[in-house]
Amino acid sequence: MTGKVYKSTGSWYTVKTELGKAYECRIKGKFRIQGIKSTNPIAVGDIVDFDLETHNNEDTGVIHKIHDRKNVIVRKSVNLSKQTHVIASNLDMVFLMITINNPPTLTSFIDRFLVTAEAYSIKTILLFNKIDAYDKETLDEVRYLAHIYREIGYECIGVSAKTGKNVDKVKALMEGKVSMFSGHSGVGKSTLVNAIEPALNLKTKEISSQHMQGQHTTTFAEMYDLSFNASIVDTPGIKGFGVVDMDKEEVGDYFPEIFKLKQDCKFNNCLHVKEPKCAVKAALDNDEIAFSRYRSYLQIIEGEEEHYRTDNWDND
Ligand SMILES: Nc1nc2c(ncn2[C@@H]2O[C@H](COP(=O)(O)OP(=O)(O)OP(=O)(O)O)[C@@H](O)[C@H]2O)c(=O)[nH]1
Ligand SMILES: [Zn+2]
């Protein structure tokens, strides 16, 4: 049988078949995926093959194969820093929720997030939330930012989780897909998910109260099917995803507007910093590349990893 992993609690995995039946599954023996140094061999979102075993009239599954992953999001394992922990796999998109104030979302955060999502090959859609609460000046800032990111190719939507404005547009994008919501604490992720699917709120609340009782010491991701043929991955306690390690030379490839220009630079290993005849700097001078984006690019290649990790992660 083949199914999708919806939940993992360490040794047991909840796997749902295409017909919608869920089975509790274990892994057979020393199951390892080639090439992935991970503390968890199977993650939420994985497509797996399993066989059924019947004990005391109860069917449980034994997973013997994992299908190739389209993408993964990982975090460094807490205990073994060299190893990674796969949070989820096979995501179709991530919605990055942004607020201009309450709390402020800086462009450096947005850009680091986007670089990471590009590196993971996960499509990102930018949601500017709380537009019901903004004055004219703040709305202008939303328009300005949306313009910058649309030019690069990112879809941007102004929403209000509170009044429901444009929530239907978000739902339409989610149809038939697996999504995740990300963003700083307080941007309105829970409020939006609740507006999208009120029934889900209960479920996630139940889970977090279990955590409070200390039944789990680690937080696990979980996938939920929604009522309109869409799924979301909820990652309690994890409000974003960590940065992947990348070489300086690679960073520009994850800024789509820089990547497009790099073939026009004189040097094919151009880092677009001090090199002569650099197409990226020429574009910057002509206002074809946003200065805030270029500044974020410089910050990343100059390496501010430490700071970056702390503002991207929230392990409370
Ligand atoms: N005015 C306004 N307030 C909003 C909107 N969406 C959320 N809020 C408020 O913002 C606050 C934070 O919302 P949450 O949904 O808890 O934010 P969150 O991103 O889930 O926060 P964490 O759980 O800490 O990650 C709450 O007081 C919400 O009522 C919105 O569209 N407009
Ligand atoms: Zn260059």
pLDDT along the chain (316 residues), means of 10: 92 93 86 61 94 91 93 71 79 96 93 91 96 98 98 98 97 97 90 91 55 49 93 73 75 97 96 97 97 96 58 38
CA of 293 to the centre of ligand 2 (A): 15
pLDDT value at residue 258: 98
- Give the mutation target among 127, 191, 239 for probing the ligand 1 site: most ligand atoms within 8 A of CB: 191
CA of 160 to the centre of ligand 1 (A): 10
- Give the mutation target among 134, 157, 190 for probing the ligand 1 site: most ligand atoms within 8 A of CB: 190
Task: Spell out the domain ranges in the chain.
Answer: 2-86, 89-234, 248-312
pLDDT value at residue 316: 32
CA dihedral in degrees (188, 192, 198, 204; nearest 10)? -50
Could you say which ligand is closest to the alpha carbon of residue 194?
Answer: 1
CA of 147 to the centre of ligand 2 (A): 24
pLDDT value at residue 246: 80
Measured from the CA of 187, which atom of ligand 1 is nearest?
19
- How many angstroms separate the Cα of 39 from the Cα of each of 21, 36, 43, 71, 82? 28, 9, 10, 17, 10
In this structure, the residues whose C-beta lies within 6 A of any atom of ligand 1 are 129-130, 132-133, 160-162, 185-191, 239
Measured from the CA of 161, which atom of ligand 1 is nearest?
31
Q: Are 84 and 76 in contact, with CB atoms under 8 Å apart?
A: yes
CA of 162 to the centre of ligand 1 (A): 8
Distance (Å, whole) CA 124 – CA 159 = 16
Could you say which ligand is closest to the alpha carbon of residue 301?
Answer: 2
Q: Hey, what are 52's tokens? A: 């059924």
Q: Whose structure tokens read 């074809």?
A: 288
Second-level CATH architecture of 248-312: Orthogonal Bundle (1.10)
Residues 6+ apart with CB under 8 A from 310: none
- Among candidate residues 224, 184, 222, 196, the one with its CA nearest the CA of residue 96: 184
Q: Are 46 and 3 in contact, with CB atoms under 8 Å apart?
A: no
- How many angstroms separate the Cα of 237 from the Cα of each of 71, 87, 205, 221, 316? 21, 12, 13, 9, 6
Q: Where are the beta strands (DSSP E) in 119-220?
A: 123-128, 156-158, 178-182
pLDDT value at residue 32: 57
pLDDT value at residue 310: 41
Distance (Å, whole) CA 187 – CA 160 = 11
Could you say which ligand is closest to the alpha carbon of residue 184?
Answer: 1
Distance (Å, whole) CA 67 – CA 24 = 18
Residue whose Cα lies nearest atom 11 of ligand 1: it is: 186
89-234, CATH topology level: Rossmann fold (3.40.50)
According to DSSP, the β-strands at 178-182 and 231-234 are parallel
End-to-end CA distance of the chain: 38
Handedness of CA 125, 129, 131, 135 (dihedral sign): negative
Q: What is the ipTM of this complex?
A: 0.98
pTM for the whole structure: 0.87
CA of 231 to the centre of ligand 1 (A): 21
Measured from the CA of 102, which atom of ligand 1 is nearest?
10
Is 2-86 a CATH 3.30.1330.10 domain? no
